[in-house]
C-alpha cells in the first residue's frame, strides 16, 4: 500500500436532521406533543466522518448533497471540521437528504430517513477516493453498488475496511468477505443472522454494540470479548452508534488493536449520549481520553 493521503475515508450519507423532543415516542396512529425542535447536520456518513475527525484522524468524505441551502449547510459543517470534500458531489434537481427524528425523555429515538441526493451516489463516484486512506468506513444509507465498489477499492489498496450495516439489509457473502470489521447493533445483528453467520460469510471480525450493556467483539475461533458501557448521564442516543463507528475507525488508523479500539469507541459512543443532536453531540479526542482515564 502506498502512503495514504488520509487516516480515515468515509463513504456514506449526509442529511439535515429535523429533531423533535417529546415525553414519549408515539405509537402507530398516535399523535403526541413535542417540547423542542432543532435542525442539525447529520446522516450516518457525515456523523461518522466528523466523529473520526474529532477523534484525531485526518479524514475524507465521499457522498452527495443537493444544490440547495441544506446541502450548503452540510458543506459548511465538513469545512469547519477540516474534512476533505474533493469527492463530494453536488447534484441539481435532487434535494439534500433529510432525517426526521423523534427523541423521548428516556433518550430513545425513532428515525425516518429520506435519502434524496444520497440515493444517487454511484460506484464511479467512490473509486477515486476509497483507496486513499488507511481505513475505509461505509454504511448502507447510500446505494449498495457504491458501498461494494468502495470496499473493493480499499481492499485492493490494502486498507482496513469497516462496514456499519445500517439500516440492516440482506448482504452478499462476497461483499462481507471484503470487510475486516462489521459493526451492527443488536437489532441489526439479529436481522443479519448473528455474529457466527457474518463470520461464516467472510467478515474477519464482528463488533456488536449493545447500548447500556456495552459492546462485544467476536472473531473466528476466539472467545468473545465484551467491553462494559461507560457510565454517563444520557439525554439523547441519536448518533451514539455513529460516534462509536467513527472513533473505532480513528483508533484503528493509529494502529490500535481491536480490543483497545473497542474501548476507545465505547467511550466516544457514551459521550455522544450526553448531548442532544447528532453532530453537536460527537466528542473530541481529549474528552474521550478523559472518560477512559476517569473510569479505568
Spell out the residues 6+ positions from residue 65 whose beta carbon is closer than 8 angstroms to its own: 14, 71, 74, 75, 88, 89, 90, 91, 96, 97, 117
Respond yes or no: is residue 180 known to be catalytic. Answer: no
What backbone torsions phi and psi does residue 77 show, to the nearest 5 degrees? -65, -45
Asked whether the CA dihedral 98, 6, 209, 212 is positive or negative, the reply is negative
Nearest in space to 135 (alpha carbons), one of 246, 262, 14, 269: 246
What are the distances in angstroms from CA 104 to CA 21, 108, 225, 237?
6, 5, 31, 10
Grid cell digits, residue 158: 490494502
Alpha carbon distance 93, 70 (integer Å): 13
Q: Are 26 and 109 in contact (CB under 8 A)?
A: no
Alpha carbon distance 72, 244 (integer Å): 26
Active-site position among 84, 131, 236, 242: 242
Which residues are catalytic, by number?
242
Amino acid at each position: 500500500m502506498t502512503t495514504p493521503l488520509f487516516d480515515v475515508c468515509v463513504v456514506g450519507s449526509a442529511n439535515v436532521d429535523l429533531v423533535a423532543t417529546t415525553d414519549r415516542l408515539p405509537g402507530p396512529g398516535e399523535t403526541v406533543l413535542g417540547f423542542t425542535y432543532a435542525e442539525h447536520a447529520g446522516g450516518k456518513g457525515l456523523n461518522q466522518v466528523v466523529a473520526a475527525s474529532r477523534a484525531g484522524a485526518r479524514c475524507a468524505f465521499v457522498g452527495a448533497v443537493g444544490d440547495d441551502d441544506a446541502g450548503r449547510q452540510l458543506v459548511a459543517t465538513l469545512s469547519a471540521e477540516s474534512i476533505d470534500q474533493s469527492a463530494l458531489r453536488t447534484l441539481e434537481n435532487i434535494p439534500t437528504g433529510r432525517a426526521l427524528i423523534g427523541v423521548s425523555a428516556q433518550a430513545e429515538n425513532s428515525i425516518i430517513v429520506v435519502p434524496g441526493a444520497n440515493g444517487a451516489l454511484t460506484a464511479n463516484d467512490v473509486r477515486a477516493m476509497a483507496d486513499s486512506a488507511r481505513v475505509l468506513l461505509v454504511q448502507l444509507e447510500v446505494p449498495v453498488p457504491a458501498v461494494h465498489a468502495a470496499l473493493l477499492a480499499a481492499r485492493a489498496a490494502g486498507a482496513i475496511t469497516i462496514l456499519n450495516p445500517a439500516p440492516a439489509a440482506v448482504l452478499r457473502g462476497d461483499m462481507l468477505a471484503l470487510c475486516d470489521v462489521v459493526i451492527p447493533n443488536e437489532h441489526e445483528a439479529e436481522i443479519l443472522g448473528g455474529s457466527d453467520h457474518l463470520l461464516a460469510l467472510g467478515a474477519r471480525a464482528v463488533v456488536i454494540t449493545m447500548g447500556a450493556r456495552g459492546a462485544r467483539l467476536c472473531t473466528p475461533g476466539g472467545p468473545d470479548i465484551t467491553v462494559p458501557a461507560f457510565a454517563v448521564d444520557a439525554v439523547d442516543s441519536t448518533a451514539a452508534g455513529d460516534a462509536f463507528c467513527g472513533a473505532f475507525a480513528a483508533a484503528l488508523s493509529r494502529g490500535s488493536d481491536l480490543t483497545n479500539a473497542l474501548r476507545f469507541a465505547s467511550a466516544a459512543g457514551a459521550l455522544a449520549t450526553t448531548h442532544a443532536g447528532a453532530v453537536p453531540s460527537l466528542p473530541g479526542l481529549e474528552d474521550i481520553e478523559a472518560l477512559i482515564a476517569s473510569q479505568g
